[in-house]
Amino acid sequence: MWRGNKALLFLLLTAAIQGSTFPLQKLVVLEISPFAYNTIRFGSAAVFSLLVFGFGKFFKGFALGIVLCGSYIFQIWGLKLTSATKSGFIISSFVFLVPVFAFLLEKEKLERYHLLSFLLGVLGIYILTGGTRGFSLGDLFQVFCAILFALHVVLITKFSRSEKEENMLFWQFATVAGVNLVFSLNRHWKISSGSLLVGLYSGILATFLGIFWQMRYQKEIGNNATALVYMTQPFISTLLSFILLEERLSTFQFFGGILTLVALFVGTSLKGGKSIN
């Protein structure tokens, strides 16, 4: 009983921390190059994982890092062009994309409720972003980010069957930091104190601790609790965006966000079974 409650507590804390990064990053994203920001975020995560767990194993960590690198580049570039609130809802839709990659990579059967979840999610995102006329390039980048996040989750599941989670941390984070460092070399590194603090906060808490806690605890609590945990993230992002950025959703957009959350619940809670991670 305590083990399950402990896992739930850590995952709720992870969702809260990761959800808080959307509005915080939106505050500083115009002050710093996305590549420079990601270098700070994942560089700090790599340093902490090295100090705590050592180098780990290269190949699987590197493969995860390439996928994660793409997802965060799309996320930060997208935040320049869309709101933190919409970004939080769109990226959270990766949950109902997980079964698709599980089927493609591990031949796990796609159930009818997975298809229903996918259709509801697409409709929810369509409404949330304002349809084809309101769908911006930033929103498209967030969709790409969600797709790569879903792939990342399934690869973690696949790799963790033969490797300990802590062995896949350092090279994963170092790969993301290294790629972003290369892309940032020909850019002006103008780093404000705010962007540095947000980068370190996101790197140490949301990335190093957050991803480690996800790897360690998500599989312990099952589908129902996992769905509820993930569903809290966009609401945390929305609440903080309301407070920090004074962002607002229209009634129609709010309905789209709720529909997206229904899709998350349908895709992860029906029929029980294994955790998505």
pLDDT in tens, 249-259: 677 777 877 88
Beta-carbon count within 10 A of 179 CB: 21
Task: Say what percent of the chain tops pLDDT 70.
Answer: 79
**Has residue 277 got a pLDDT over 60?**
no
Counting beta carbons within 10 angstroms of the beta carbon of residue 35, is it exposed (0 to 12), middle (13 to 18) or buried (19 or more)?
buried
Is 272 among the domain residues? no
pLDDT at 240: 75
Rounded Cα–Cα distance for residues 172 and 58 (Å) = 8
Rounded Cα–Cα distance for residues 226 and 231 (Å) = 9
Is 226 among the domain residues? yes
Interval 82-102: pLDDT, tens: 776 677 677 776 766 777 787
- State the pLDDT confidence band at 274, using cuts at 50, 70 and 90: very low
Is 65 among the domain residues? yes
Is 60 among the domain residues? yes
Q: Count structural domains, the chain.
A: 1
**Has residue 276 got a pLDDT over 50?**
no
- State the pLDDT confidence band at 227, using cuts at 50, 70 and 90: low
pLDDT at 41: 94
User: pTM (2 decimals)?
Assistant: 0.76
Counting beta carbons within 10 angstroms of the beta carbon of residue 258, is it exposed (0 to 12), middle (13 to 18) or buried (19 or more)?
middle
Rounded Cα–Cα distance for residues 62 and 64 (Å) = 5
Task: Say what percent of the chain tops pLDDT 90.
Answer: 23
Interval 153-209: pLDDT, tens: 788 778 877 888 899 999 999 999 999 999 888 776 778 888 899 999 999 999 999
- Mean pLDDT over 98-121 rounds to 74
- Mean pLDDT over 100-127 rounds to 75
Rounded Cα–Cα distance for residues 158 and 108 (Å) = 12
- Mean pLDDT over 5-27 rounds to 83
Nearest to 53 by CA among 202, 218, 212: 212
Is 105 among the domain residues? no
Cα 198 versus chain centre, distance:
16
Is 110 among the domain residues? no
Q: In which domain, by residue range, is 199 found? A: 2-93+134-248
- State the pLDDT confidence band at 270, using cuts at 50, 70 and 90: low
Is 271 among the domain residues? no
Average pLDDT, the chain: 79
- State the pLDDT confidence band at 131, using cuts at 50, 70 and 90: low
Is 204 among the domain residues? yes
Q: What is the DSSP letter of 108?
A: P
Rounded Cα–Cα distance for residues 95 and 233 (Å) = 12
Residue with tokens 């929810």, as numbered in its chain = 124
- What H or E segment, with its residue span, contains residue 3? helix 2-28
- State the pLDDT confidence band at 104, using cuts at 50, 70 and 90: confident
Rounded Cα–Cα distance for residues 113 and 203 (Å) = 35
Nearest to 70 by CA among 156, 151, 166, 2: 151
Token representation of residue 58:
């290269």
Q: What is the DSSP letter of 167?
A: G
Rounded Cα–Cα distance for residues 90 and 84 (Å) = 10
| The one-letter amino acid at 187 | R
Q: Taking the chain, what is the end-to-end CA distance rounded to the nearest angstrom?
A: 20
- State the pLDDT confidence band at 269, using cuts at 50, 70 and 90: low
- State the pLDDT confidence band at 273, using cuts at 50, 70 and 90: very low
